[in-house]
């Protein structure tokens, strides 16, 4: 989900990671579901990528 939204915003992993204050490697692991993240980081990702509550809920349902 993160990768799809990041690409739709034409952001590199490095750009998004810098914007939300994490390493690009951590973002890479999140995109590949290799690790979990804190809620605070998740909120920053959602805000930076402008993901709606409805889209998040739809993703969770899948």
Q: Per residue in 3-61, pLDDT tens?
A: 999 999 999 999 999 999 999 999 999 999 998 889 999 999 999 999 999 998 888 88
Angle at 38 between CA 35 and CA 40, to 5 degrees: 145
User: What pLDDT is attached to residue 60?
Assistant: 82
Q: Give the CATH number of the domain where residue 31 resides.
A: 1.10.260.40
Determine the pLDDT at residue 59.
82
Residue numbers of the domain that contains 52: 2-61
- Which pLDDT value is given to residue 2? 92
Count of domains in the chain?
Answer: 1
Read off the pTM: 0.84
Q: What is the pLDDT of residue 31?
A: 94
Please calculate the CA angle 8-10-13 and round it to the nearest 5 degrees.
105
């Amino acid at each position: 989900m993160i990768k799809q939204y990041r690409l739709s915003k034409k952001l590199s992993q490095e750009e998004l990671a810098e914007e939300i204050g994490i390493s690009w490697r951590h973002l890479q692991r999140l995109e590949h579901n290799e690790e979990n993240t804190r809620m605070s980081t998740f909120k920053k990702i959602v805000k930076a990528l402008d993901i709606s509550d409805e889209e998040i809920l739809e993703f969770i349902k899948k």
